[in-house]
Structure 1
């Protein structure tokens, strides 16, 4: 093992580093303006506040943010806030935005492709519940026909533009959300 002799230069350099460390740690990062409503967390999800979207919580509230690919949930009292990573529609044409609500829920949903899906891919057929079903283990149907919040067995889809219009979650996350969300929960897709 080689050792360097302790020199005056080495000692002064070490002392300067030690004395400047607290100042470096306390230094403010460069100011970067963050537009209001565009606050981000470490996961890169844009943070949401239910008050920016709804007048009241009602039975609860869901905001599905297609830009940051996250679903935000608040319970009726506003005491439970959760955020989930999602898959979002593949294209702008498939993305429906606006206000809707949860009108039906189903464990082990079956799946029938829409007419437009079959036009794009004629091989698509009805699928009963099971591991190949694109709706995963749980589904919450919205007041808009053929738009759902559901699970997926294909975990590669989460965090991507990969759906035909629905909002997809990991199966374990949709199971958790499903248990929390009553029928009549208001939903906004942005």
Structure 2
């Protein structure tokens, strides 16, 4: 149920590897679930709840087939297939204050990306590692799709339990098996529409 997913739990969010919007000191919004520490892989043995598993759905849009649409309110990513169909993936999204919207293109793709927390994130969370090589415990997960010239990405995660929550600094995370699937389906240049109300 929606209300159970929205219970705020104290914790620290480890999301994108790039800067998020600047927020005044002392006013950083809490995520809706505690994030997993970098270096710890939670994907082994995890079962994604059914509603967030990849599935073909009825989806009305005027966007062309191949377009990615991220609905930050409902926490789903849609890959438009045409004929009122889409492939739907569950995602984790930015917590309050770190959400955004717009239209961009996928400008780069990367397998097992490295993670370098930016200065803004280090300032908020000084205990973070300054660099982490790509791998199963990396918060960027198995794949990353870079969004335009923004600081955001669609990427995997080492914390699959955060799918369906608002936890990141603005990036969109999928479980590793789902981002691997999406990564194979979309080329560089793919249009991505981020809907935020």
> Whose RCO is larger (CA < 8 A, sep 6+)?
2
Contact 2:59/2:84, CA 8 A, preserved across alignment:
no
- Size of the aligned set, in residue pairs, is 141
Which residue matches 2:14? none
TM-score normalised by the chain length of structure 1: 0.68
Q: Provide the alpha-carbon RMSD of the alignment.
A: 2.3
Q: Which of 108, 115, 123 pairs up with 2:112?
A: 108
**Per the alignment, do residues 130 and 50 of structure 1 end up closer, same or farther by CA in structure 2, a change over 3 Å counting?**
same
Q: Against the structure 1 CA distance between its residues 67 and 110, is the aligned structure 2 distance closer, same or farther, given a 3 Å change threshold?
A: same
Cα offset for 1:144? Answer: 3.4
- Greater Rg over alpha carbons, structure: 1
SS in 2 for 1:152: coil
**Distance in 1 (alpha carbons) for counterparts of 2:117 and 2:58:** 33
Deviations 1:73-92 (A, max 9, x none): 025x669720000000012x
Mark the runs of 5 or more structure 2 residues left unpaired by the alignment. 1-49
Name the residue aligned to 2:157: 152
Counterparts of 2:85 and 2:133 in 1: how far apart (Å)? Answer: 34
TM-score (norm 2): 0.65
User: For structure 1, which runs of at least 5 residues remain unmatched after alignment?
Assistant: 1-41
| Alignment counterpart, residue 98 of structure 1, candidates 102, 121, 138 | 102
